[in-house]
A = this chain, B = another copy of it.
Amino acid sequence: MRDSFSRQGLMAALGIRLHSLAPGEVRLRFDSAENLTQHHGFVHAGVIGSVLDSACGWASQTLMPAGTEVLTVEYKLNLLRPAAGATFEGVGVVTRPGATITFASGQLVEVNDPDRPIATMTATLIGARPD
């Protein structure tokens, strides 16, 4: 899985790194940077979506048979407050594993302010066996 993560062009481009990996739970981190912002200088909602979608996808992957491909069917992102700060952590947790459909949820915090979530996600994922 770490190999697969490193093959993701977007994760490298955005400076998103794998912070921890456990069955059903994955944490990613990234630092604030000029290329991640919207016009007010906060981290762009698209970056937040990318991080949490990835965290949910990898968390789902940890509970699937080796060789299964995980695809996101849909996700919903709530933006609770502006993403201001230096380093952010996004966690993805499987809330309901399934043979076909997996549900996961995600949350983003600034690492020095972990009790005030910046954004939350729920995601629906599907596992597919490659032919």
Q: A: which residues have CB within 8 A of B?
A: 4-5, 7-10, 12-14, 33-40, 44-47, 49-51, 53-54, 69, 71-82, 95-96, 100-101, 103, 105, 117, 120, 122, 124, 126
The 5 closest A-B pairs by CB, nearest first: A46-B50, A13-B35, A49-B49, A10-B44, A9-B37
Q: Which secondary structure characterizes the binding site on chain A? A: mixed
On whether the beta carbons of A78 and B103 are closer than 8 Å, the reply is yes
With A8-B37, A34-B9, A49-B49 as known contacts, state yes or no: A95 contacts B80, CB within 8 Å.
Answer: yes
Counting every copy of the chain, the complex holds 4
| Bound CA–CA A58/B113 (angstroms) | 29
Q: Which residues of B contact A95 (CB under 8 A)?
A: 80, 117, 120
On whether the beta carbons of B124 and A124 are closer than 8 Å, the reply is yes
**Apart from A74-B124, A100-B126, 20 more pairs, CB < 8 Å:** A8-B38, A8-B44, A9-B35, A10-B44, A10-B46, A12-B35, A13-B14, A13-B35, A46-B50, A49-B49, A71-B79, A73-B78, A73-B101, A73-B124, A74-B76, A75-B77, A76-B77, A78-B124, A100-B100, A122-B122
